[in-house]
Structure 1
Amino acid sequence: MSYDLNNRTAVVTGAASGIGAEIARVLARSGARVALLARRAERLTELAEKIGAEGGQALAVPADITGDLAPAVEAVHAAFGRVDLVVNNAGVMLANPITAGRDDEWGRMLDTNLKGLLNVIKAFTDDLVAAGRDGAADLVNISSVGAHLTFPTYAVYTATKAAVTHLSANLRTELGPLGVRVTNVEPGLVHSELADHMDNPEVSASLDAWREQVPPLDPADVGDVVAFATSRPKQVNLRQIMVLPTAQV
């Protein structure tokens, strides 16, 4: 599906695959100019070409959200001007028992899921506030249903997502009065590459078995939710959206 996002300029992080790529595609189909941020330049270029072939506008911006984003911001501004829609989608999901003491994994998740998200917010807050004075402005953070539930071996991952959910609620108290809508999206089980980075065979097997029992969402389903929320009239803020497969309880 597509919505009315004509004349909007969006930034989507983690756009090289999965949920981020599908969010970018539906935003572009809806008329938005979309800057694609992720580390894998080749994947971004391929996606930008696909979006262009569909009649959309997309810019590949290779960047690590945990580092200096000034060059990325400059590239987006040079190509598209001021940003009025930011989707913080980039994330890492790693799972091991807490007794394994995998502080290497903890560091990666904290850096990407929380610090990286904050870096992106910092980089584009001025744009969003300026846009909010003139029209619609949106900050969308992709959290997880895990922010509210407990899953053995996923303690640190779900803790980072709980932080994103709570952060989003607090950001709305600051940015809402400035005209910026803050939307927190919490997907359940989704087909994505998130699980591909896990190195615990037992955890991976358990996740595979769960997917057999509960058919996951397609990443495009989450993209549709994001486009719907950000295409509402300016005075309407869908502040928190939990999107699950019908069979997930």
Structure 2
Amino acid sequence: MSENINGKVVVVTGASSGLGAETARHLSRQGAKVILGARRLDRLAELASELGLDGKAILQTDVSDRKQVRALVDRAVGLHGRIDVLLNNAGLMPSSMLDKLKIDEWNRMIDVNIKGVLYGIAAALPHMQSQKAGQIINVSSVAGHKVGPGGAVYAGTKWAVRAISEGLRQEVKPWNIRTTIVSPGAVATELIDTITDQDVAAGMAKTYEKAIPASSFARVVAFAINQPEDVDINEVLFRPTTQAYRACTDRSPNRCSRLKATPERYADDDETSERRGPHLRQRWTMDCAAASAFVQLEIRH
């Protein structure tokens, strides 16, 4: 078992399949006390049975409904007296070209991908402030860093998740709360099944031919949670090693295959050594097709 995961109370949204279900499995094996929410209660029940969980550990949850998200978090606190980690994982990706005017799909992505994250924060933050500890992990995407044709609205929601998460990171330092953004690339899940624009669906299917398994995401989440309390993994961007940036399409092959890894250390503007001591962050950026990960961490002294 992982020392800093064992015994932690972890709430996972979108837990009925894909990234959420695989993360629930992985964390449960590491000794975490998982509380799982999703719209498909039958899938949740199957997962709970597989993991040997009590029926109280699952709750039907539509993250676009603030009351349901709050009920999920309150369930965790009611059962275990606290919430250590919230994984805001639920998301949709019905990508389409803007001129297809799939406005209902746009609204649904905004409701789930943005409001769902905000509702999760609203439900968990007061408990974590009271505890003076906790971690909120929000799921963005490679599309939250690069946007391409057909992905405007989805990418917009994932850029929003990153902006919200960075603002949250800066605001919650007084309560010792950690924040993490996880930005996956092509991972094998049901996500692309929601695409109704056939032109976009065909291109996305090609991208996902070499998708990596959902267990890769679960390991990234576990890595972030398992750090000592004074280490905050602010962001992890990962993808299949063979998945290139869209930005590489206009570059020469030689340049696209080159890996650039640049460590930087700097002091945060919003902290002073008089109040909290040196507040250092370190980041590694890896560029182009050979790259498979980006990690940004924060070390609290």
TM over 0.5: same fold? Answer: yes
Partner of 2:61: 63
Q: Higher strand fraction: Structure 1 or Structure 2?
A: 2
**TM-score relative to the length of structure 2:** 0.76
Structure 1, gaps ≥5 residues long: none
C-alpha distance in structure 2 between counterparts of 1:188 and 1:176, whole Å: 29
Asked whether the equivalents of residues 141 and 185 of structure 1 are also in contact (C-alpha less than 8 Å), the reply is yes
Letter in 1 for 2:20: G
Give 1:163's match in structure 2, choosing from 160, 163, 166: 160
Matched, 1:49 2:49: yes
What's the C-alpha RMSD, in Å, of the aligned pairs? Answer: 1.7
Asked whether the equivalents of residues 143 and 162 of structure 1 are also in contact (C-alpha less than 8 Å), the reply is yes
Q: Cα distance, 1:82 vs. partner?
A: 1.1
Residue-by-residue CA offset, 1:141-191 (whole Å, 9 max, x unaligned): 010011111221110000000000111111000112310000001001110
Letter in 2 for 1:65: V
Asked whether the equivalents of residues 73 and 83 of structure 2 are also in contact (C-alpha less than 8 Å), the reply is no
Larger Rg: 2
Distance change in 2, residues 1:57/1:129 (3 Å): farther
Q: Cα distance, 1:74 vs. partner?
A: 3.5
Could you tell me the percent identity over the aligned residues?
38
Q: Higher helix fraction: Structure 1 or Structure 2?
A: 1
SS in 1 for 2:232: coil
Partner of 2:83: 83
**TM-score relative to the length of structure 1:** 0.92
Structure 2, gaps ≥5 residues long: 245-301
Partner of 1:121: 121
C-alpha distance in structure 1 between counterparts of 2:48 and 2:71, whole Å: 19
C-alpha distance in structure 2 between counterparts of 1:27 and 1:176, whole Å: 25
SS in 2 for 1:79: helix
Partner of 1:73: 73
Moved segments of 4+, more than 2 Å: 69-81
Asked whether the equivalents of residues 94 and 197 of structure 1 are also in contact (C-alpha less than 8 Å), the reply is yes
Q: Cα distance, 1:58 vs. partner?
A: 8.0
Please list, as runs of the form range in 1=range in 2, the aligned pairs for 1:155-234 lying within 5 A after superposition. 155-212=152-209, 215-234=210-229
Relative contact order higher in (CA < 8 Å, ≥ 6 apart): 1
C-alpha distance in structure 2 between counterparts of 1:178 and 1:95, whole Å: 37
Paired residues in the alignment total: 241
Q: Cα distance, 1:201 vs. partner?
A: 1.9
Asked whether the equivalents of residues 38 and 63 of structure 1 are also in contact (C-alpha less than 8 Å), the reply is yes
Q: Cα distance, 1:61 vs. partner?
A: 1.1
Partner of 1:244: 239
